[in-house]
Amino acid sequence: MAHPVIKAELREKAGKGSSRALRREDKVPAVIYGDKKEPVLVTLKRVDLFKELHKGGFMNTSYEIQVGKTKEIVLPRDVQFHPVSDWPLHVDFLRLAKGATLKIMIPIHFTGEEECLGMKAGGILSVVRHEVEFNCPADAIPESITIDISELDMNDSVHISAVTLPKGVTPVIDDRDFTIATIAVPSGLKGSDTDDEEEAVATEGEEAPAEGGEE
């Protein structure tokens, strides 16, 4: 599997002073750790990091970081942002060992909303889980899981057992068939249904002949 490449440079010093100096040069300090190896301090060009962040799915994408002639397959595990400017301040990368499996939150996307039977009838899509934690192969992490809801009717639900997952991907929660989304009845529509039922009951009472009445 081909991984997007990020070029980095080694940095010798850690600490706030060194990091501030790097940021003034439009560089972002980062660290590569894990796989029972020593952490490696690196810097990234801020413009290169911005490009990857703006593509979306940064935290679920495995990258090849190239430091000189050395290459490492990594997964972003944390990005610190400036509270005002929202500029990236620091990135943590986890080394991915060959054949490793990770627990990772994957976003859930939905398709078929325009064709959804329940939504056509006035229902709304009520999402219980916008993300689900999965066990995933380190070299095949899906950016998202897509669920087709076109065949769902009012009050129907999507459970994890009904979702087709990529090979090697399994939910971390495996002791219950949890709900991901439901086609819910809007409160206004519920009230309308209740009123109709009450009106029907009242009409039936008016039309029924009184027992023991005059002949």
Q: Tell me, yes or no, whether 145 and 193 share the same domain.
A: yes
Domain assignment present for residue 211? The answer is no
Domain assignment present for residue 197? The answer is yes
Q: Tell me, yes or no, whether 124 and 193 share the same domain.
A: yes
Three-state SS for 36? coil
Q: Which residue has the tokens 């610190």?
A: 80
How many whole angstroms separate alpha carbon 136 and alpha carbon 141?
6
**For the residues of 89-129, what is the DSSP string, one character each?**
EEEEEEE--TT-EEEEEEEEEEE-TTT-HHHHTT-EEEES-
Domain assignment present for residue 215? The answer is no
Q: Tell me, yes or no, whether 50 and 77 share the same domain.
A: yes
Q: Which of 52, 74, 97 is the last residue in one of the domains?
A: 97
Q: Tell me, yes or no, whether 79 and 168 share the same domain.
A: no
Q: Tell me, yes or no, whether 112 and 73 share the same domain.
A: no
CATH of residue 58: 2.40.240.10
First to last CA, the chain: 89
> By residue range, what is the domain housing residue 16?
5-97
Q: Which of 57, 72, 97 is the last residue in one of the domains?
A: 97
Q: Which of 49, 67, 97 is the last residue in one of the domains?
A: 97
Residues recorded for the chain: 215
Domain assignment present for residue 214? The answer is no
Look up residue 124 and give its two tokens.
């709304």
Domain assignment present for residue 82? The answer is yes
CATH of residue 135: 2.170.120.20
- Structural domains of the chain, count: 2
User: pLDDT tens, position by position, for the chain (215 residues)?
Assistant: 578 899 999 987 676 667 777 778 888 999 999 888 999 999 999 999 999 999 888 988 889 999 988 999 999 999 999 898 888 999 999 998 878 888 999 999 999 999 999 999 999 999 999 999 999 988 788 889 999 999 999 999 999 999 999 999 999 999 999 999 999 998 766 655 444 444 444 444 444 444 444 44
Q: Tell me, yes or no, whether 19 and 92 share the same domain.
A: yes
Q: Tell me, yes or no, whether 171 and 129 share the same domain.
A: yes
How many whole angstroms separate alpha carbon 196 and alpha carbon 86?
53
Find how far residue 192's CA is from the centre of its chain: 35
